[in-house]
A and B are shown apart, each in its own frame.
Chain A
Amino acid sequence: MRIHCPLCGARDRREFSYKGAALVRPLAAAESEAWHAYVNLRENPAGPLAELWYHEMGCGSWLQVTRDTVNHTVSEVVLARDAALGAGV
């Protein structure tokens, strides 16, 4: 499995470390239900899933990687900074 880092190009999986699903962080004042979902509840799809990966051995960027959990096809990679995950609802 190779991940196409927006800065470094296609790199081997071993250069990256995995964090988990890429979720939009709720606002600090959001209902506790929203925070409960953010912290504890996860989808477990057999198919595309947006995840956070860290290019630890390369440029040091956090990436949002859309990976198919069935066949590991990576369909999209963007810098996490550009993925609007901190927008809040």
Chain B
Amino acid sequence: MVDLLAKTACDGLAPLNIGTVCLREGPTVPMTTLAPYRGQQAALDAALQAAHGLGFPPIGGSCQSGDARALWFGRDLGLLMGIEPEATLAQYAALTDQSQGWAVMQLEGQGGEEVLARLCPVDLRLSAFGVGAALRTEARHMQASICRIEEDCFQIMVFRSMARTMYHDLKTAMEAWAARG
């Protein structure tokens, strides 16, 4: 058996500290999309509560319980992060493993909103995008998922193949924000 080396999506991309903002790769965790079958969303919500202690995320939001987080990930789509879903959920939703398929980054510190404002055409200020809010939007022509996981910490996800581009664009935006002093 060949011994394969696991590489994370941001392997080789060093964490950045520019001005007051810090960029680093998020923890490597299991990720599974939950696509409820038509009319099964309430049943899936109940099954998630029973199995993992969190519900199916509302539009534009997320749910958290311990290490597990469920993000709203598109129309009739959720992303379960941090735990493997219980097999019983499969009767209510299509479960698809996405682990390692997405680059997960965390942008932390004062000024993160201003950095993201240079990349995304949505209002990510705390007043419009509170803690736990999650949306899909464009980040410099890439399909991204953005979630405010803490008041001063954003989780940014793009397809794994876009990791280096996202890192470069975030770095450029962080430098531009820092240069304003």
- In the bound complex, what is the Cα–Cα distance between A10 and B44 (angstroms)? 29
Q: In chain A between 42 and 69, which residues have their CB closer than 8 angstroms to a CB of chain B?
A: 56-61
Comparing B21-29, B132-140, B162-170, the segment that makes contact with chain A is B132-140
B75 near A61 with CB under 8 A, answer yes
Q: Does B77 contact A (CB under 8 A)?
A: yes
Q: Known contacts A15-B121, A56-B143, A57-B143: does B75 contact A7 (CB below 8 Å)?
A: yes
Residues of A within 8 A of B60 (CB): 7-9
B residues apposed to A, CB below 8 Å? 59-60, 74-75, 77, 121-122, 135-138, 143
Known: A57-B138, A57-B143, A58-B136. A14 touches B121 (CB 8 A): yes
Out of A9, A14, A59, name the residue touching B74 (CB < 8 Å).
A59
Query: Given A56-B143, A57-B137, A59-B136, is A11 in contact with B121 using a C-beta cutoff of 8 Å?
Result: yes
Name 7 extra pairs, CB < 8 A, besides A14-B121, A57-B136, A58-B136: A8-B59, A9-B60, A11-B121, A15-B121, A57-B143, A60-B77, A60-B136
**A12 and B75 in contact (CB under 8 A), knowing A56-B143, A57-B137, A57-B138?**
no
Number of chain A residues whose Cβ lies closer than 8 Å to a Cβ of chain B:
13
- Is the beta-carbon distance between B138 and A59 smaller than 8 angstroms? no
Q: Which of A1-44 contact B (CB under 8 A)?
A: 7-9, 11-12, 14-15
Residues of B within 8 A of A9 (CB): 60
A59→B60 CA distance, assembly (Å):
10
Chain A contact residues, CB within 8 Å of chain B? 7-9, 11-12, 14-15, 56-61
- Alpha-carbon distance between A61 and B77 when the two chains are bound, in angstroms: 11
Contacts A/B (CB < 8 Å), 9 sampled: A8-B59, A8-B135, A12-B138, A14-B138, A15-B138, A57-B138, A58-B136, A60-B74, A60-B77
Give min CB distance, A74 to chain B, whole Å: 16
5 A-B pairs with the lowest CB-CB distances in the bound complex, closest first? A12-B121, A57-B138, A59-B75, A60-B74, A61-B75
B136 pairs with A8, CB closer than 8 A: yes
CB of A65, distance to nearest CB on chain B (Å): 16
B73 to chain A, nearest CB (A): 9
